[in-house]
Amino acid sequence: MTSALGSVPAGSGTAPRPGGADPQLPVRPHRKRWGRTARWVGWLWVLPALIMYGVFVLRPLVLTVQYSLYRWNGIGTAQWVGFDNYLTVFTDRDLLKIITNAFVLIIFFSFIPVALGLLVASLVRRITTGPGGTLVRTVLFLPQVIPLVAAGIAWSWVLSSNGLVNQLLRAVGLERITRPWLGEFSTALPSVGVIGTWIMLGLCTILLVTGMSKIDPSLYEAARMDGAGPIREFFAVTLPSLRQEIGVCLTVTVIAALASFDIVYISTSGGPGIQTTVPGLEIYRLAFSQRQVGLASALGVVLMLLVLVCVLPIQRLTRGEKA
């Protein structure tokens, strides 16, 4: 049996656990007192962090839920509207489209970077342990270091009418398909997605490379002795061993996709039309430009729940076996 804290089995008991009032083990009074103090001292140590957490995470969370039940412009008096704001979120056609956009971005922010990351990691695994390793890792990780705003600006130049992408296309005679990638209805969302892929790929690759370096080489040896080629090796050894790393990659990137804001705000501002508007951007617009704090809060709560709904199964799937 494990206690609620998941601590060591309580029954092993040669050393009296501090404060653990196990009736079979006589505990000397002063030690008992010391133990009790120790626990409270422990709480004392985490108290500053807990207060910060309460004030800056729990309190805003509770307030957001509260605001979502009102019609409020942020300044004047608020009017109680119950679940009206939630009804709007789930029935407004534009808002539904905006939520869908976020799910499309998951493909670009999560699936593609993880898949590509696996490929790249397998290829560079040997290089990263060699002398040029630091260089390779730095280059791969660079997109993570660059501020998203800077990345957004740089990419909007690359994808503009006379940007690098179109210049390259013209150079190879593909003039016909050049276009303002971020300004056209059909290509805007995928183009924003590509920016996300670029940013997330480095993170995923580094995580996966690190995971690969922990795999016991004897497993590969065994596989090879059984006559497995590199592809079989990848599916039989590498992939299963990376279960947890893939889980972390997916969790981080799915949250990044659903909660995206910076890249979209900088590269397209949600346009053209509402083609690339994502919930994060809409929440900001609703709250600050349209001054519908209630509706913005409701959308915020829905977004939080969506993130949980998407991320919890990933956690369960990738943790399940090892825990």
Partner 1 sequence: MSEFSTRFTRRRLALLVPMLAAGLTITACSAPGSEQPTSEDSGAPVSTELGTDPITLEMYAETGFPLAKALADEFTKQHPNVKFNVREDQFTVIVENAPRVLASDNAPDIIRLPTMVDLVKDGLLKNLDPYFDAHGWDKFPASQLVQLRLTDGGAERGSGSLYGMGLGYSVTGVFYNKKQAEQIGMTQPPATIAEFEDLLVKAKAANLLPIMQFNKNTAGINFPYQALQNQYGDASQIADWIFQKQGATFDTPASLKAAQTIEKWAKAGYFPKDANAIDYTAMMGEFQKGNGLFMFNGDWESANLDKNMAGDVGFFLFPGETADAKHVAMSAPNTFGVGARAKNPDAAAYFLNWVHTNDKAREISVNVGGSHPGGPADLPLPPVADGTVLAETLKASQQLGADNGAVDFTANATGGIFAAAITPEMQKLIAGQQTPEGYVKAVQAEYEKELSR
Residues in the chain: 323
97 binds partner 1 per the rule CB under 8 A: no
Tell the smallest beta-carbon distance from residue 201 to partner 1 (Å): 25
Q: By the 8 A CB rule, do 93 and 110 touch?
A: no
- Stretch 99-118: interaction string toward partner 1, x if CB under 8 A: --------------------
Nearest residue (CB) to partner 1, 3 versus 134: 3
DSSP H or E stretch at residue 221:
helix 217-225
CB of 47 to partner 1, least distance (A): 10
Query: Quick check: 182 binds partner 1 (CB under 8 A)?
Result: yes
| Residue with Cβ nearer partner 1 (160 or 315) | 160
Residue among 50, 150, 153, 309 that touches partner 1 (CB under 8 A): 50
- The CB-of-179 to partner 1 minimum distance in angstroms stands at 8
169 binds partner 1, rule: CB under 8 A: no
Residue with tokens 């039309």: 273
Near partner 1 in 67-86, by CB under 8 A:
67, 70-80
Q: Kindly state the DSSP code that residue 285 receives in the 8-state scheme.
A: I
Amino acid residing at 78: A
CA distances to 52, 127, 204 from 132, in Å: 42, 7, 20
**Closer of 97 and 319 to partner 1 (Cβ):** 97
Asked if residue 32 binds partner 1 (CB under 8 A), the reply is no
User: Which strand (E) or helix (H) includes residue 263?
Assistant: helix 262-267
* Tokens 């539904």 found at: 96
Q: Which DSSP string do the residues of 2-70 spell out, in sequence order?
A: --TT--S-GGG-SSPPTT---TTS---HHHHHHHHHHHHHHHHHHHHHHHHHIIIIIHHHHHHHHHTTE
- Contacts to partner 1 by CB under 8 A: 1, 3-5, 10-11, 20-22, 43, 50, 54-55, 58-59, 62-63, 66-67, 70-80, 160-161, 179-180, 182-185, 268-274, 285, 288-293
